Structure formats: structure tokens, C-alpha cells
Amino acid sequence: MMIMRRYALLLLLAFASLQLLCFAADVDEVFYDSFEESFDGRWIVSDKDDYKGVWKHSKSEGHDDYGLLVSEMAKKYAIVKELDEAVNLKEGTTVLQFETRLQSGLECGGAYLKYLRPQDAGWKPNEFDNESPYSIMFGPDKCGATNRVHFILRHKNPKSGEYIEHHLKYPPSVPSDKLTHVFTAILKPDNEVSILVDGEEKKKASFLSAEDFEPPLIPSKTIPDPDDKKPEDWDERAKIPDPDAVKPEDWDEDAHMEIEDEEAVKPEGWLDEEPEEIDDPEATKPEDWDDEEDGEWEAPKIENPKCETAPGCGEWKRPMKRNPAYKGKWSPPLIDNPSYKGIWKPQEIPNPNYFELEKPDFDPIAAIGIEIWTMQDGILFDNILIAKNDKVAESYRETTWKPKFEVEKEKQKAEDEAADSARLADFQRKVFDVLYKVADIPFLSKYKHQILDLIEHAETQPNLTIGVLVSIVVIILTIFFKLIFGGKKQPIVEKKPEVAETSNGEGSSGEKAEEAEKEEAAAAPRRRRRDN
């Protein structure tokens, strides 16, 4: 009986712990939309005239998983989702995460999200546009030289009351493929932000560091005085012409840069009377040429063939050479300026908008908006999440993103391998065509059957193409060297009389060579024919 009570107590404690964990997970998950249901009635499409792009509730290509789809090219899109309760970014950790898939690629356009301030900042959901005030903008953007995963914080200067956009320096680049990717920004209570792409940290930065944000959240203590003016007598010239310098008497400013080379002599055989171009003797006047309408016909010019063998044609002139007396325009040498005061800068004054900051003064997030302009269609947004615990975001990456990504990656790998195989097959076909032409070269006719055997072997086993190609090259080189060096040695080593004397009637060296060739031919593989 006691054992049963203990067992029941353990079950009760386990159930309570599970409920507590579920409750904690629900608390940590502030907002989540998987788009398994249509966005109609939940997300509000902007009524502004500029935003004509049509949003669609669509499946991700190759999956049963739905998302929010950009359906048309070269359009502006705007859609917004109000949160049930604004998210306070000043307390604890906040995680912003979403998936996007560039199904048609991304050459020029954005795929980022805007996390909007409350509506009392001056905006309405049905009028959502690029002027609607946001706290954070986060996500991919690519066009021209721009290729980055943006993270932009709009922060209010407590002195001036002005909102300034602070851009993360050196953000990660956008993945260039067409697979589903998940982007995560983790805002931590220690003033750090981490940017993750597919769960891998690509960038870590401090909100209070001037090295990480441009412009920095904390402005400089001093600024150039806007009312300070450069004095009229301020001299910024480090060097000036020497006022005491005098032009030398022998300085000739009128001398030419080049003069005729008086030592040059006309080359022998120069054809003075021959023009460089003559009328084409083979040209004839077109039959439909009308002198009254087309003017007097003239034969086209060609280079004078007599000039090809001569040093030159036409009037000979002495070549030009540099004039040693040329000095150009005289100018006095430069000396140090005794009145030089340096480059003028306005004096520094205390910055009236300077403030110190221990933590960023984040505005709350009251809505999530997608406001983009893109030249591509096929951009799919999915699994948009706001959480107060990075473990929640990690769990969603493992359960919603990773399975899709692995399937897409394997499919992409298979497609790439098929494309590589097709390119290899095309390359092999071209190689075989060339090799068959090589086999038909006359000086290789004696070895043609061996080359054809190798080619046909490679055609049946394409993975051996490179090896067979190397083998054929070796054969050709061997034959080439044999023809060159063997041909030169043959007259030296040939000694028919001596062989005849010592053969003892057993046959001449020519007969033995013939027999050797017959044996070699018998040992060689039979030639396969190829119909051309």
C-alpha cells in the first residue's frame, strides 16, 4: 500500500513538473506564427497605393509546410501583424527569429522584418509603409554592392529627442542559395546582441561600443563648433614658389620638345615614288552603280604589295627625336611657407546632445511588419517568433527549420551532382570526338587499332576517361619520339653485309624484322571498327 502511495506521489510530481515546464515555455514564447492557417484576418495588408504586391498563403516548394509568399516580381509589399501585448526589450533576453526561403534567388530586394513601435508613435496598420516608426529592422537585404543581414536599431537621443538609426557594422552576408534559412537576433541583458544564421553565430556586438554600431549609440563628448569660421588670413599652403628665384638666362621656354634627327639616313631601297596604298586591281565597279546617284565610283584601297619587301614607301622624312635643349615652362622652385598654419579645423565644443548610457533605451515592440521592395518573386516567410529565452528559438530551429533544410540540401546536392554529371558527359563526348579524329591522323595509321580499342574501352567505362586519355597521349608521344629519334639512328645501325656473313644462311636482318612485325601484329588485340 505504501509503495502504491509513493508511486502515485511520483506521478503527481512528474505531471506537475511537466505542467510547470509547459507553462514556462508558454511564458518564454511571446509570439509565434507558423502560417499553417491563412494570414487573412490575422495580418493586415497595407492600403497604401505604392504597395501593389500580392501576398499569398502558399506551400514551400517541395514541402507541405505553408508560409507567407511574395508572389510577384518588381513590386512593393507591406503587411503587418499587431501583437496582443507589446514586448519590453529592456528586461531580460529577447529573441527575434524567422525563416525565409528565396525560392527564385535574390538579386535585388529585401527579405527583412520591421519590429514596430506602438501606434501612438504615429502609424496605423492599414496605412503601414516605409515611414512607419520601428524599433528594430532585421533580416536579409541584397542589391548591387549591398549584401548583408541587416540589424538596425532606432534609438532616441534623450537630449535632443531625435530618433537615430544605428546600423550594425560588418553584418554577415546573405546565403546565396535557394534553401530555407533561419535568421536569429538575440538581445541580451548585458548589452550584447548576437546574430545567428541557421543557428550558427555569425556576429556578436555590443550596443554601447562605437566599434560595433554606426553611428554609435553614445555620441562623442565634443563636436566641431558650427559657428567657428576660418580666418581670412589663414594660410594652408605648406609650400610656396620661391619669391627670390630668377629664371636662368639660358632657359629657352620656346624650344620644341622634339626635333628632326639630323643624323638619320634614308634606308637603301626606299621606294619614294610608290604610294603606301593602291587601288585594288581586282575590284570592279558594281553593275547597279549609278554615277549620278552614287557619285563617281572609286576602287577600294589595298596595301601596296611593293612596299612589303621594301623598307618603306612614299616621301621619306627624318624621324623625330627628343630635343636636348627642351626644358619646358620655367617655374620657380617651391620652398617652405613661413606663414603656413596647417589645415584649418573648427574648434571643438561640448556636444549639447551628449549623454551617458548604461543600457539602450529600447522602445517596445507592438507589431511585426514586412515592408519590402524586390525584383524577385518566390520569397517565403515562415515561423516568425519572438521569445524571451534563446532555448525556445533553438527548439523551433530543430523542429521546424532543420528537417526542411536537410531535405532541401539533399535535393540540391542531387541536382548539383546530376548537373556535374551532365557537364562531364558533354566533356567526355567532346573528348571522344577529338580522339577519333586523332586516330585518323595518317602517321598514326599503324597504331589506329590500339587507339580505337582504348577509346571504346573508355566509352563503356566513362569514369576511366581521364586515364585512357593520358594513355593515348603517352602512345602518341612514344610514337612521336620514336619517329624522330628512331629515324635518325636507323642509317647508323644498319649493317646488312655483316649480318649476311654471320647469319649462316638463316636469313637477313630485313627478313627477321618482317617476322618480328608479324609476331607483334599477332600478339596485338584485334581492332574494333567504328562506323563514321
Task: Please tell me the distance from the alpha carbon of residue 416 to that of residue 488, in angstroms, as a whole number.
Answer: 53
Does the pLDDT of residue 495 top 70, yes or no?
no
- Average predicted confidence (pLDDT) for the chain: 84
| pLDDT confidence of residue 507 | 47
| pLDDT confidence of residue 514 | 52
Task: Please tell me the distance from the alpha carbon of residue 34 to that of residue 51, in angstroms, as a whole number.
Answer: 24
Does the pLDDT of residue 145 top 90, yes or no?
no
Does the pLDDT of residue 408 top 70, yes or no?
yes
In 157-199, beta strands by DSSP E = 163-168, 180-187, 192-197
| pLDDT confidence of residue 525 | 43
Does the pLDDT of residue 409 top 50, yes or no?
yes
pLDDT band at 422 (very low <50, low <70, confident <90, very high): confident
Does the pLDDT of residue 273 top 60, yes or no?
yes
User: For residues 523 and 516, is the Cβ–Cβ distance under 8 A?
Assistant: no
- Look-up of cell digits 558533354: 426
Does the pLDDT of residue 532 top 50, yes or no?
no
HEC profile of 383-399: EEEEECCHHHHHHHHHH
Taking residues 65-69, what's their average pLDDT? 95
Taking residues 371-377, what's their average pLDDT? 91
Does the pLDDT of residue 489 top 90, yes or no?
no
Does the pLDDT of residue 427 top 80, yes or no?
no
Task: Please tell me the distance from the alpha carbon of residue 106 to that of residue 144, in angstroms, as a whole number.
Answer: 11
Task: Indicate whether this model's pTM tops 0.85.
Answer: no
pLDDT band at 483 (very low <50, low <70, confident <90, very high): low
pLDDT band at 435 (very low <50, low <70, confident <90, very high): confident
pLDDT digits (tens, 9 = 90+) for 151-171: 999 999 999 999 999 999 999
Task: Please tell me the distance from the alpha carbon of residue 102 to that of residue 374, in angstroms, as a whole number.
Answer: 11
Helix orientation angle between 465-481 and 402-439, rounded to the nearest 10 degrees: 30
Domain ranges of the chain: 23-222+359-411, 415-482
Range of lowest pLDDT (348-357, 396-405, 473-482): 473-482
| pLDDT confidence of residue 424 | 66
Q: Which tops the pLDDT comparison, 313 or 16? A: 313
pLDDT band at 345 (very low <50, low <70, confident <90, very high): very high
Does the pLDDT of residue 491 top 70, yes or no?
no
Does the pLDDT of residue 226 top 90, yes or no?
yes
Task: Please tell me the distance from the alpha carbon of residue 455 to that of residue 449, in angstroms, as a whole number.
Answer: 10
pLDDT band at 466 (very low <50, low <70, confident <90, very high): low
User: Topology of domain 23-222+359-411, per CATH?
Assistant: Jelly Rolls (2.60.120)
| pLDDT confidence of residue 15 | 46
How much of the chain, in percent, has pLDDT values that exceed 70?
A: 81
pLDDT digits (tens, 9 = 90+) for 68-106: 999 999 999 999 999 999 999 999 999 999 999 998 888
